[in-house]
Amino acid sequence: MSIRTFLRELEAQNQLIKIKKQVSTEFEISAVMKKLDGGSAVFFENVEGYSIPIVGGICGTRDRIAFSLKTKSSELLHKLLDAVEHRNPVRIVEKAPAQEIIEKEIDLLKQLPILTYCEKDGGPYITAGIVVAKDPLTGIRNVSIHRLMVIGRNKLAIRIVEGRHLDQYYKIAEGLNKPLEVGIAIGLHPVLLMASSSSVPLYVDEFEVASALAGESIELVKCKTVDVEVPAQAEIIIEGKILPHIRAKEGPFVDILGAYDIVREQPVVEVTCLTHRNNPIYQSILPGGYEHMLLMGLPQEPRIFKVVQNTVPSIQNVYLTPGGCHWLHGVISIKKRTEGDAKNAIIAALAAHPSLKHVIIVDDDIDIFNSQQVEYAIATRVQADRDVVIVTNVRGSSLDPSANQEQGALTSKVGIDATKSLMKQRELFELAKIPNENQIDLKKYLE
């Protein structure tokens, strides 16, 4: 489970663009990544001032993520749900490629090609680092992805969203006046990125989710200077500790909606050691790009599915759409059994993912991944006075610039019931078929 094996698979499928031209870590690499966003992954061989190449966009499309998890795009949600529910153990190894080279003298910007992406960025920062920590009380591992801004030779400001698992661990450590030890892994197979961003309860080890997704135990190795285990097949490991009672300015950086997040006072990681492979590869996620949106949004789909399933057991699938930044807009398909099913699904979905702002419920004959089919359902199955639900003054996304952020992201939400009415004759909604149309092989007619 290394990024190297995955890059070879992408190359074999012509899904990896290799850039030989020399490129700068400041604005140039990000500009090329943005041009290629949503398409192939990209590998920058010649990075100005560094001997380390950079890869981006490996999780840049839903299909590529599905391919990396050996499943189909439409089955991703079920694969993720299954992995969370049937986790597999990890395996601890003694020797690891990630520790082929050990560096105790730290100067992050000299040692790693850390990128500056956008015009108003607060500085260079790491976007594809998974942060591994252990609960100071139970020792149970947590793995999550965080922005890491370089603020000194051996210092990083870390963005930790209040209330998240790492925040809970950090607050416990801080209460004990102790630092929280962390291992930060960069250059990983998509399985590890997907597992790290999965939405699981506190005290569920995301590496066990990764093992389930991979179908084999993920290999971990103990860090050299801290008591934390990190992926043995990673390209680069930054070891350090999040210092108690210290804060530094973090940002401004670009969020999932492509706008600037505010500058905040955030905790500080003091780096104690850097280990890496011989000839490591640095990995980057373009902020506000598809990879960023997918890694954040995809794990919400199984969460929404589970909550809606409690109310509407016949739910089929959930899709957070790209136009809504894989975050604010959802489409859900159900097999409608009673007239109120879709409305219940609306209410459950809006509560399951608080950032969800507009949700459309469709029947299972509509392909939720096809926006034209979803619009067709709205066009032919909706009467607005009856099928639209508006909920006002609910908590929404803290990123939505149109919400009332002064009062804690107060927003209005809309649900559209675009399912066929059970009161009407089913035949009215029947989609016309031509006999044997699916058996027609067009090639034979064009010869």
CA distance 135 to 170: 8
CA distance 98 to 277: 5
Question: What is the smallest separation between the CB atom of 139 and Mn ion, expressed in angstroms?
Answer: 14
Tokens of 237: 């490991």
Binding mask 407-436 for Mn ion (x = CB under 5 A): ------------------------------
Asked if the peptide bond before residue 136 counts as cis, ω within 30 degrees of 0, the response is no
Question: What is the smallest separation between the CB atom of 131 and Mn ion, expressed in angstroms?
Answer: 11
Binding mask 161-200 for Mn ion (x = CB under 5 A): ----x-----------------------------------
Nearer to Mn ion, 147 or 165 (CB): 165
Strand 410-417 relative to strand 388-395, pairing:
antiparallel
Residues near 131 by Cβ (< 8 Å), separated by ≥ 6? 143, 144, 145, 146, 148, 158, 166, 182, 183, 184
Question: What is the smallest separation between the CB atom of 56 and Mn ion, expressed in angstroms?
Answer: 25
Question: What is the smallest separation between the CB atom of 165 and Mn ion, expressed in angstroms?
Answer: 4
Number of chain positions touching Mn ion (CB under 5 A):
2
Q: Which residue number has the CB closest to Mn ion? A: 165
Q: Would you say how long the chain is, in residues?
A: 447
Binding segment toward Mn ion, per CB under 5 A, in 98-106, 120-128, 159-167, 423-431: 159-167
Tell me which residue of 54, 90, 80 sits closest to 230, measured CA to CA: 90
Binding segment toward Mn ion, per CB under 5 A, in 13-21, 40-48, 141-149, 223-231: 141-149
| Residue tagged 């074999």 (tokens) | 12
CA distance 3 to 265: 33
Nearer to Mn ion, 54 or 143 (CB): 143
Question: What is the smallest separation between the CB atom of 235 and Mn ion, expressed in angstroms?
Answer: 23
For 329, 376, 419, the CA distances from 386, given in Å and listed in that order, are: 21, 18, 12
Residues near 64 by Cβ (< 8 Å), separated by ≥ 6? 10, 15, 41, 58, 190
Nearer to Mn ion, 165 or 292 (CB): 165
Nearer to Mn ion, 30 or 142 (CB): 142
Binding segment toward Mn ion, per CB under 5 A, in 98-106, 138-146, 261-269, 328-336: 138-146
Residues near 331 by Cβ (< 8 Å), separated by ≥ 6? 318, 319, 321, 359, 360, 361, 362, 368, 374
| Residue tagged 């859900």 (tokens) | 332
Question: What is the smallest separation between the CB atom of 320 and Mn ion, expressed in angstroms?
Answer: 20
CA distance 117 to 23: 13
In the chain, how long is the greatest CA-to-CA distance?
77
Please, which residues bridge with residue 23 across strands?
47
Residues near 386 by Cβ (< 8 Å), separated by ≥ 6? none
Binding mask 49-68 for Mn ion (x = CB under 5 A): --------------------
Contact, 302 vs 330, CB < 8 A? no
Binding segment toward Mn ion, per CB under 5 A, in 157-165, 191-199, 259-267, 362-370: 157-165
CA distance 377 to 429: 10
Which one of the listed residues 37, 121, 205, 255 is annotated catalytic?
A: 255
Single residue of 25, 142, 211, 355 touching Mn ion by CB under 5 A: 142
Contact, 306 vs 332, CB < 8 A? no
Question: What is the smallest separation between the CB atom of 392 and Mn ion, expressed in angstroms?
Answer: 33
Contact, 206 vs 242, CB < 8 A? no
Question: What is the smallest separation between the CB atom of 201 and Mn ion, expressed in angstroms?
Answer: 8
Question: What is the smallest separation between the CB atom of 163 and Mn ion, expressed in angstroms?
Answer: 12
Nearer to Mn ion, 88 or 311 (CB): 88
Nearer to Mn ion, 142 or 266 (CB): 142
Residues near 74 by Cβ (< 8 Å), separated by ≥ 6? 317, 369
Residue 255 appears among annotated catalytic residues: yes
Catalytic residues: 255
Binding residues for Mn ion (CB under 5 A)? 142, 165
